[in-house]
Amino acid sequence: MQRICLFPGTFDPVTLGHVDIIDRALPLFDKIIVGIGLNAAKAPMFSAEQRKEWIDGIYKNEPRVEGAIYEGLTIDFCKKINARFILRGIRYVSDFEYEKTIADANRTMDRSIETIFLTGEPKYTSVASTIVRDIIRNGGDASPFLPEVVYKTLKN
């Protein structure tokens, strides 16, 4: 059985912190699906299609990573794509507390799907999509926080 992992999030935009987590998770899984979750409570800066295009562009030479757009419960999407693992990145202790609550709820709904936490590289600790969006909105240089594919799109 293939070890399929879902890395869910909004990825609005995709940052070097996201890429760090995906790259370091690659040796652990046969396939990583970067799931761009649609959340009615959030108003994203970039379309889901644009975010998926970025993921697919960043990993165009890595067939084990693909972008996908989904709606609804993450655990239901895991079942749909046969993912037995959920990947989450942790920057701070507060991230862990929040993520553990979600992992516990997911485990209650389906004990066969396990959540895996990876801590981000220290150099990416301050890289949060919220901060990057603020930099972009205010005309700042977000290039130190973004993969080249994303930065080139924004520059154009």
18, 51, 52, 88: the catalytic one is 18
Q: Are 91 and 131 in contact (CB under 8 A)?
A: no
pLDDT for 36:
98
Residue type, 148: E
* CB neighbours of residue 19 within 10 Å: 20
pLDDT for 33:
98
Query: Which value, to the nearest 10 degrees, does the dihedral of the CA atoms of residues 26, 27, 32, 35 take?
Result: -50
Low-confidence ranges of the chain (pLDDT < 50): none
pLDDT for 85:
98
60, 100, 129, 133: the catalytic one is 129
Angle at alpha carbon of residue 2, lines to 60 and 16, rounded to 5°: 35
> From the CA atom positions of the chain, what is the Rg in Å?
15
What distance in Å separates the CA atoms of residue 116 and residue 131, rounded to the nearest whole number?
25
Tell me the domain boundaries of the chain.
4-155
Could you please state the CATH topology (level 3) that the domain comprising 4-155 is classified under: Rossmann fold (3.40.50)
Pairing of strands 4-9, 65-71: unpaired
51, 52, 88, 91: the catalytic one is 91
Query: Which value, to the nearest 10 degrees, does the dihedral of the CA atoms of residues 44, 49, 55, 61 take?
Result: -170
pTM of the shown model = 0.95
pLDDT for 61:
97
pLDDT for 153:
93
pLDDT for 106:
97
pLDDT for 41:
80
Active site residue 100: no
Active site residue 155: no
pLDDT for 134:
94
42, 60, 123, 152: the catalytic one is 42
SS3 per residue for 31-78: EEEEEEEECCCCCCCCCHHHHHHHHHHHCCCCCCEEEEEEECCHHHHH
Active site residue 91: yes
The CA-to-CA distance between both ends of the chain, in Å, stands at: 43
Active site residue 18: yes
